Amino acid sequence: MTGPWWRSSVFYQIYPRSFLDTNGDGIGDLPGIVSKLDYLAELGVNALWVSPFFTSPMADFGYDISDYRGVDPIFGTMEDARRLIAEAHKRQIKIIFDLVLNHTSDEHPWFVEARSSRDNPKHDWFIWKGRTDALTGKRLPKPNNWVCQFEFKSAWWPNEATDEWYLGTFTRHQPEVDWRNPELRQAMYDVMRFWLDEGVDGFRLDVVNWYVKDAQFRSNPFSFKANPDIFQRHIYDRNQRETHEICAEMRRLAESYPGDRLLTGEIFSQDPAIAASYQGNGSDELHLAFNMEPLYLGWQPKRLARAIREWYRLVPAEGWPNLAFSNHDQPRHATRFAPRGFGGLLARAVPDRHKKERLQIAAMMLLASRGTPFIYYGEEIGMENAPIPRKELVDPTGITFWPLPLGRDGERTPMQWNGKPHAGFTGAGAKPWLRLHPDWPSVNVEAAMRDGDSLWHWYRKLIALRKAEPALSRGSLEFVAEGERGVIAWLRRDEKTVACLMNLSGRHRTVRLDSAVPATGAAATVLLGNRRDAGASVPVERVPLAPYEALLVTLPV
């Protein structure tokens, strides 16, 4: 494979709190990840994104960092982090860490200093507005209408010591830094250098598109969109032009290191054009930018196909796409893709008789797509969102918005390893930090690995095929069906052509592939199918697809 490693890699996202607990405190840790590296190698993934494990008061479970260079004792030690990097590399697994540079924790020493006085050298590393009119002595209104996303209140929080407001658009415990301040910028770049020097292969950068705010602090206009836009068009608190300069500087920083260090940005927006813009011209800003659109979609064949097609159209020619259906912020796709009663209002009103086939199709869509795929932990066994009772909610969003289903605890429940107590996530006597999904006695890694026909083995085979077939890892992608009558089909072409055929409907369908092959009467050969055996022949003029069939075939040249 030519090109940097991350173009041909299959990523796996680990949420460390929930992966494996080795010290019996009910919270996953870094040694837990290390002990599962062989498992991940067996699945075939060759790159990891590890969500934050840095020192944090955990107001947002690690997305509020109080020391960028320290490992939170809950997760382990600096030695464990070093061992994680080294052990991953020993197995040819690359590893990227998650840096949250839009805000710190309110307990970060920078903010503690900054809030102490207006004269403090760190004061201007954060965003402030005065609370009192200097001339009249009157209390000023909040500077604008920006909203705190997780508390659903004004994003401006009072600081008595300086008589100012500071900005916190996630929770009040996550003050936003001022990226326009040159010293702050250098301090953040030093954080990046620190971990790059430790040997990490790159970063997932949290909410990149929020880094810079409007210099005039103008109020956002109204929008009818509730989730996730909270009724505002975010033209002044996000996506400012200067953010692209920062991405370009970060790219140069990453490129000053050997080994194709990767920068992949979370672009918090459902607009794929905005996400694509953070790749710049494809070679001067972020290497990868997450397009969030597919994370919000249900089992909607046309919309899924359109989202994927549009994404490819928008990513710059020199750039590279990526795809994820699940992460730690949105309901898992095993749940989203299940049938829902009454237009989605009543999840699970309809029994999901085809869960396995749907998830096989989703896995094929992900792993036979063009661009770097990201698997979310537990996706390989079909983990679903767990219902969490109100009194057990811990995610600030979930608590604020209850009973609206906007909380994120459900997609963060402990990994289901085996049939032992707590699914083997933690010791029998321990209390997991979040309750498990009740399906763990049957849905767990051990059971899935034992059953040669399980979703786990389907993922393993797809990953292996993606590595073995250059058409799948680097080939072009050309749609043959874009969700009409529930069928999504595309061709991946390199030296060979592989066709990926997916029937998302519960009816029999057919796909024609004859225009893709030179000779009539030719037959394609099955590489992998959930209804057919590998090696079988399929006529290209009319490929019949059974309900919920997923099929990968190679076409004759």
The site that binds ligand GLC (CB under 6 A) totals a number of residues, namely: 10
Helix (H, G, I), strand (E, B) or coil at 432: coil
CA-based R_g, the chain, Å: 24
- CA dihedral of residues 194, 196, 202, 207 (deg, nearest 10): 20
Q: Smallest distance from the beta carbon of 170 to ligand GLC, in angstroms?
A: 4
Place of tokens 């010591």: 161
> Is residue 151 at the binding interface for ligand GLC, with CB under 6 A as the rule?
no
Q: Smallest distance from the beta carbon of 204 to ligand GLC, in angstroms?
A: 9
Nearer to ligand GLC, 171 or 416 (CB): 171
With CB under 6 A as the contact rule, the residue among 6, 68, 170, 236 that binds ligand GLC is 170
With CB under 6 A as the contact rule, the residue among 21, 72, 164, 206 that binds ligand GLC is 206
Site for ligand GLC in 249-268 (CB under 6 A): 266, 268
Cite the DSSP H helix spans in 150-268. Answer: 182-197, 241-255
Is the Cβ–Cβ distance between 82 and 90 less than 8 Å?
Answer: no
Site for ligand GLC in 465-524 (CB under 6 A): none
Site for ligand GLC in 95-114 (CB under 6 A): 100
Cite the DSSP H helix spans in 429-498. Answer: 445-450, 455-468, 470-474
Amino acid of residue 483? G
Nearer to ligand GLC, 72 or 469 (CB): 72
Q: What is the Cα–Cα distance from 56 to 296, expressed in whole angstroms? A: 29
Nearer to ligand GLC, 265 or 432 (CB): 265
Could you give the count of Cα atoms lying within 13 Å of 324 in the half-sphere of its Cβ? 27
> Is residue 328 at the binding interface for ligand GLC, with CB under 6 A as the rule?
yes
Nearer to ligand GLC, 60 or 151 (CB): 60
Q: Smallest distance from the beta carbon of 539 to ligand GLC, in angstroms?
A: 46
Nearer to ligand GLC, 75 or 440 (CB): 75
CB burial readout 475-513, b (16+ within 10 A) else e: bebeebbbbeebbbbbbbbeeebbbbbbbbbeeebebeb
Q: Smallest distance from the beta carbon of 172 to ligand GLC, in angstroms?
A: 13
Q: Smallest distance from the beta carbon of 277 to ligand GLC, in angstroms?
A: 18
Q: Smallest distance from the beta carbon of 24 to ligand GLC, in angstroms?
A: 26
Site for ligand GLC in 47-66 (CB under 6 A): 60, 63
For the annotated catalytic residues, the residue numbers are 206, 266
Helix (H, G, I), strand (E, B) or coil at 167: strand
With CB under 6 A as the contact rule, the residue among 107, 163, 255, 329 that binds ligand GLC is 329
DSSP at 15: -
Nearer to ligand GLC, 28 or 486 (CB): 28
Is the Cβ–Cβ distance between 315 and 276 less than 8 Å?
Answer: yes
Is the Cβ–Cβ distance between 277 and 291 less than 8 Å?
Answer: no
Q: Smallest distance from the beta carbon of 210 to ligand GLC, in angstroms?
A: 8
Classify the C-alpha dihedral 340-151-56-204 as positive or negative: positive
Nearer to ligand GLC, 56 or 162 (CB): 56
Helices (H) and strands (E) counted in the chain, each on its own, are 15, 25
Q: CB-based contacts of 197: which residues, under 8 Å, 6+ apart?
A: none
Q: What is the Cα–Cα distance from 196 to 212, expressed in whole angstroms? A: 24
Could you give the count of Cα atoms lying within 13 Å of 337 in the half-sphere of its Cβ? 29
Site for ligand GLC in 267-296 (CB under 6 A): 268
Place of tokens 């089992």: 299
Nearer to ligand GLC, 60 or 384 (CB): 60
Nearest one of 171, 194, 44, 160 to 104, comparing CA atoms? 171
Residue closest to ligand GLC (Cβ): 63
Q: Smallest distance from the beta carbon of 238 to ligand GLC, in angstroms?
A: 12
Nearer to ligand GLC, 168 or 486 (CB): 168
Q: Smallest distance from the beta carbon of 43 to ligand GLC, in angstroms?
A: 23
- Structural element, H or E, at residue 528: strand 523-529
> Is residue 411 at the binding interface for ligand GLC, with CB under 6 A as the rule?
no
- Contact positions vs ligand GLC (CB under 6 A): 60, 63, 100, 170, 206-207, 266, 268, 328-329
